Structure 1
């Protein structure tokens, strides 16, 4: 908040002007995804925010690409916004929380939740930043859980028995009730691995996401530990957030971007090299290529994602997205 005042008995609050959100950034880049170098920058900043929230026992409850905004169109600094659904961990108000693609399994299953749900959402966001599309694009809650089980397998019975909605998702023996989506597809539990879905040769990146996407929230990685993970530190000394630290994060410039040691970026959608650089079509030291936008599965997922997001309020226009892209090009051309 920069200023507040009353106008005709209405409280008016002036906030700082931020740029586009991460979903608009993904969209502007053609749903191709970004290098792990840029994702690392975003990750460390989101973790600093989550660490600060954890210190104050706050659960965001709606972490998603649309709620992470660039601070400036020519820099990679970000801010987490929209605390309209957030709550203190000891004063929960809602049970129906989180946007579906980023909803944790404990929320879907009607279990008790705490700050670990935000780490689940973070893992989903990072996967989307890399691939260009949601990792769990369920059409409804039943298929959402099927998407999760397709990659993580079926949770153990002790976890299932804690659910107040288990009859909706599992039969009496604990076997999942398989659902068919609108495209006639039935997802089979455990038929994919996280590495297969991401198709990424950066083992630290895959390992980091795997520690976020854990069925049991008690075993899910916490922000403080995540800040020390090799993917986040990149070989550097990890950042430490203390109770006296300022909440304002640093905003690294484009010129200071580290070269990704595991990937060779290909040409961006815009002429000048920018943090919008798409992931390479070939990864150094690996024959694994990332998924292409032309694949049928990618097209199907994008269709589901666009349909779902079309019904959601958008924070900024596509015109603003274009202006931001031009801002990146101008900044790097100087």
Structure 2
């Protein structure tokens, strides 16, 4: 009998789910965003696709309404008590948000951006709120205690990733690493490096141009020795950092950045514009520029700072 539905928008969210819960898969059904590589030992799942235009938005709303009604019937969960974890904003999530107790898991910096909670008149008339505002969201797990929007503050429980990891038994840690497709040999290549830059899909998401993004990172890195630098691109990025910063090591493994710290890979400096990935590092080692570094980024996300 399925007891939990887990709606996942990225692998970091999957990691947080397994840290918050146990690693048993017996009574869990997953709904994955289409861009995620599915762990081989997860068999109870479906994928959902994003809407690229208004026509697809209308079609997907109809398609997933029918599909999820059928899924609930097939899984025997119609009208049953059920907990839903994960993202409330991706395709199909609203079906479960309106019907079941929802426990939101941090998606990233978007959860701290005030702009994400501003709703237009059109949105208020034809949609329901996302990012934990809806009345059926009973709890929100975040990893950062600063800059939590007031509209969700009463629901938030701040979690410490390393503390949760240390509470896991060794077999559970192995399960988590396996489900996240972690390659230990690849990670060991990072030992001896001094700095790590966590980049973000700012051009891919249309916030700034590709040229503006490259220039931004060139300015940030001009005072660092590239031979001692690791660049950790976001999984959705298409930028060829290997060709732009040739002295640096570009780490392309698609794993949550926090895994590095959990496996005792440490750096003197963790650098980012505003990625929450740096929060795994000691505060004194973090170089966090914030959204005010570029007017277009600030306009899009609002004021995000450490």
TM-score over 0.5 (shorter chain): no
Q: TM-score when scaled to structure 2?
A: 0.25
Higher strand content, 1 or 2:
2
More RCO (CA 8 Å, sep 6+)? 1
